[in-house]
Amino acid sequence: AYAAFGKEAFLNAIRRSQDYLLNAQLPGGYWQGELFIDCTLVADTICFRHWDGKIDEDWQRKATNHLLSSQLPDGGWNIYHGGPSEANATIKSYLALKLAGFPLTDPRMVKARSVAMNLGGVPKMNTFSKLYLALLGLFPWKYVPTIPCEVILIGKWCPLNFHEMSNWTRSMVVPLSIINHFKPTRKLRNPVAIDELYPEDFQERELQLPRDPGVFSWRNLFLTTDKVLKLAEKMAQWGIHPFRRHALRKNEDWMLEHFEGADGLGAIWPSMLNSLIAMKAMGYEDDHPQVLRAERELRKLENETETEIRIEPCHSPVWDTAIASVALCASGVSPDHSKMKEAAKYLVSKEIRFRGDWKYKNDTGVEPSGWAFEHENKWSPDVDDSAMVLLALRGMQSGGKKFHQACFKRGLDWLLTFQCKGGG
């Protein structure tokens, strides 16, 4: 950089960047940037609101504006910046626009439909997308892979037990297993169909997930297991499923427990929305405190302007604060700077002193510590956020040195217990 731009230009760029970051710090001592993501969260929320029967026309107008602004020139939607049109994003957005009243003859709908069909149509959608279609009566449940409630009952004796799953997976599986049990398809106020998104010579049997050509493969094993689980589901409908009631209650209790100390279930949008659907499927009334709480947490992820709605998958204050602090320290900002002290205070305040779900896999007896990505997610502090916070605290040892050192040591001791046998 020195050679290309000269020392003075280089130093000026650093100073401008420092000023920008310091001025971008929010009250409370943290930084939080917006997490931009593809259109599917907005499209799914439109679909959910129609399933729920609560349609705010002004909100929907802004949401569809966002979808249309992110439509690609070919008529489809992508799942990452600069990427090509993708089947799930395109079909979900098309359906959301159709639910919102856009006619099939609208040029944007015509182009979207053409792209969707070129990508294979509804049969090429992934499992989660098909489940959301099933909720709207637009896809048969019998072709949606089964997520049995009883997974939560499987103990450590089984290599594939509940706590061998990642935090993300657990927070998805629990509400989805409840949804899978109730299969709460609802009749839409203004019914729509998406028959035009199936190939002309399409047969329903083609909705089945294809098997691998060989006899033995992980895919074939899971497909065979799914057949067994579907038989068990039929038995449950006939009242022959001894553990189902207990498993349902266990999943419900786990979900409600994990609402506490977190920005919604798993503190991330898909789990949060699924938990809301699960509660409504179980019969929770719209004014139930947990339903209202879930709706409130989801609304916090919305960024609304005069013209559009954008939705973030989660908030990232701990990560953003840690990485901003590391950058500022590395570029020469003193740890005694007032804003650096505020950042250090914030990071120390976000240390999780609760023995969360990690205790089932980590039985070392280490003192609880660690940091999560979001504002609140006490159940699942994670390794990468904790490592970044420790790097930040190490660079800010000057102000309140003794306090920071105690927090740093506790966090480091905790982090080291998660090293894998292979060294990583």
Instruction: Give per-residue pLDDT as tens, 351-395.
Output: 999 999 999 989 899 999 999 999 999 999 999 999 999 999 999
Q: Is the entire prediction scored with pTM above 0.85?
A: yes
Is-contact 87 199, C-beta < 8 A?
no
Which DSSP symbol is given to 226? H
∠ at Cα 99 (94, 100), nearest 5°?
95
With CA atoms as reference, report the closest residue to 399 among 320, 331, 337: 337
What would the pLDDT profile of 290-299 be if each residue is shown by its tens digit?
Answer: 999 999 999 9
Provide CB contacts within 8 A for 386, sequence distance 6+: 369, 370, 371, 411, 414, 415
Q: Annotated catalytic, 384?
A: yes
Angstrom CA distances, 374 to 31, 272, 414, stand at: 12, 14, 19
Q: What is the structure's pLDDT at 161? A: 87
Looking at 19, 286, 384, 413, which residue is catalytic?
A: 384
With CA atoms as reference, report the closest residue to 270 among 393, 73, 126, 141: 126
What would the pLDDT profile of 77-98 be if each residue is shown by its tens digit?
Answer: 999 999 999 999 999 999 999 9
What would the pLDDT profile of 120-170 be if each residue is shown by its tens digit?
Answer: 999 999 988 999 999 999 999 988 888 888 889 887 777 878 988 999 999
